[in-house]
Amino acid sequence: MALASFLFCSDPLRPGRPDPQFAREAAAVRGAGGRVVLVDHDALTAGEAEAAVAGVPAASGPYWYRGWMVQAERYGELERALAARGCSLSTRAAAYRTAHELPGWYAVFAGLTPRSVWCGLAPGAGPPDAVSLARLAGPLGAGPGVVKDFVKSRAHEWHEACFVPELTDTGRLAAVVTRFLELQEDSLAGGLVLRAYEPFAAEGEARVWWVDGVPVAVTAHPGTPDRLPSPPLDAVGEAVRRLGCRWVTTDLALREDGVWRVVEVGDGQVSGLPAGEDGHAVFAALPAR
């Protein structure tokens, strides 16, 4: 099977080379006979999709994107800019949003992941008022929770902008949400998510890479690169296949009561590998068409 073509993010300082964060991966693709074409991530995030793909040869697709996260709206602009050049993306914009944002994948994984609620919120918008927050959190009931947006949390500011010891404490919930939104600023993705907190064991997380519903690699999570647990995949695989997205990742962790849980689902194009991994097994599994 011929290896696919990939759009890698270019180095902002040396545009003719892949971004250093992805240079090892680009080399693995090229070494296996795949094609690497560069796109300007800074231009893409600035809303200049046509400039971002100016170096992509006409009628040369389809491509898998591989690089830094982009908001779903910007990914849609990337798809349209490529279409204007006679190219396409192997993951369409609708599928990218489904796997990348929690509201897109949550229903399929609801029995396997912490209970969650959410509301749409524009970047730069103020936090919901206390009554609205209490109403939003209500279905989760009493107990601790986690604040995030549709894609990411601010776990490094755990007590300040992520963890809520008691969701029914509306004052504390409002303080954490307000600080989270202040720190996210224009990078807020989609809106506000509240999740029930579940304590996990110290084994770390496993990141499972799926291509067309098949697990093609299991790596450590980039946040715990020295720990690689071995979760069962049957139930998760069924959910991945129901989701119907071509290249996705699932992050799995062992809850303290011994139950494996899905911590996050992500689009494989923007999911990180642990340090030292070049992704060869993943890239080799991606079909050219």
Q: Tell me the two tokens of residue 28.
A: 């693995």
Percent pLDDT > 70 in the chain is: 99
| pLDDT computed for residue 32 by the predictor | 84
> Residue range 30-44: average pLDDT?
94
pLDDT tens by residue, 214-246: 999 999 999 999 999 999 999 999 999 999 999
> Residue range 61-84: average pLDDT?
96
Q: Please, which pLDDT band fits residue 39 given cuts at 50, 70 and 90?
A: very high
**218 strand-pairing partners:** 208
| pLDDT computed for residue 124 by the predictor | 87
pTM: 0.95
Q: At what angle do helices 93-100 and 72-84 cross, to 10 degrees?
A: 160
| pLDDT computed for residue 289 by the predictor | 64
CA distance readout (Å), 254 to 36, 196, 202, 257, 274: 37, 16, 8, 8, 19
Instruction: Please give, one letter per residue, the 3-state secondary structure of the chain.
Output: CCECEEEEEECCCCCCCECHHHHHHHHHHHHCCCEEEEECHHHHHCCCHHHHCCCCCCCCCCEEEECCCCCHHHHHHHHHHHHHCCCCECCCHHHHHHHHCHHHHHHHHCCCCCCEEEEECCCCCCCCCHHHHHHHHHHHCCCCEEEEECCCECHHHHHHHCEECCCCCHHHHHHHHHHHHHHHHHHCCCEEEEEECCCECCCCCEEEEEECCEEEEEEECCCCCCCCCCCCCHHHHHHHHHHCCCEEEEEEEEECCCCEEEEEEEEHHHCCCCCCCCCHHHHHCCECC
Q: Please, which pLDDT band fits residue 33 given cuts at 50, 70 and 90?
A: confident
Do β-strands 116-120 and 64-66 pair in parallel, antiparallel, or remain unpaired?
A: unpaired
pLDDT tens by residue, 191-222: 999 999 999 999 999 999 999 999 999 999 99
pLDDT tens by residue, 101-140: 999 999 999 999 999 999 999 998 889 999 999 999 999 9
How far apart are alpha carbons 191 and 151 in whole angstroms?
9
CA dihedral (113, 105, 70, 77) in degrees, to 10, reads: -170
> Residue range 2-26: average pLDDT?
93
Q: Please, which pLDDT band fits residue 61 given cuts at 50, 70 and 90?
A: confident
Do β-strands 206-211 and 214-220 pair in parallel, antiparallel, or remain unpaired?
A: antiparallel
| pLDDT computed for residue 2 by the predictor | 61
The letter for the amino acid at 23 is: A
Specify whether the CB–CB gap between 242 and 254 falls below 8 A: no
Short-list 94, 89, 69, CA closest to 78: 89
Specify whether the CB–CB gap between 10 and 40 falls below 8 A: yes
**8 strand-pairing partners:** 38, 66
Q: Tell me the two tokens of residue 78.
A: 């990337």
